[in-house]
Amino acid sequence: MLLARHLTLRGRVQGVGFRYALQREALRLSLAGWVRNRLDGSVEAVVYGAPDAVDRLTEWARHGPPSARVTDLKVSAHEDTYEKFELRPTA
């Protein structure tokens, strides 16, 4: 069984390489989905794959790369499936 989660991250998460670091971590964990900046200053992602890998990425996202400071992480269920992991344009 595969699992999908929607993540919304707030704090110092833009301009610090967060999207690229999250993409690298997702690929390392063999996850699919996407990540993008939001106009409100947050970062939004959907991760899809093996439940243990999704859990590991979600835990990684609580801190992010060294230059980031995550002050809020919201996690919710997501229903879509994905074949690859991609960077999406800001929305």
* Domain layout of the chain by residue ranges: 3-79
Per-residue pLDDT of the chain (91 residues; tens, 9 = 90+): 999 999 999 999 999 999 999 999 999 999 999 999 999 999 999 999 999 999 999 999 999 999 999 999 999 999 999 999 999 999 9
User: What residues act catalytically?
Assistant: 19, 37
pLDDT of amino acid 18: 98
Inter-residue contact 85 to 21 (CB < 8 Å) = no
The CATH code of the domain at 3-79 is 3.30.70.100
Q: Count of CB atoms within 10 A of residue 39's CB? A: 7
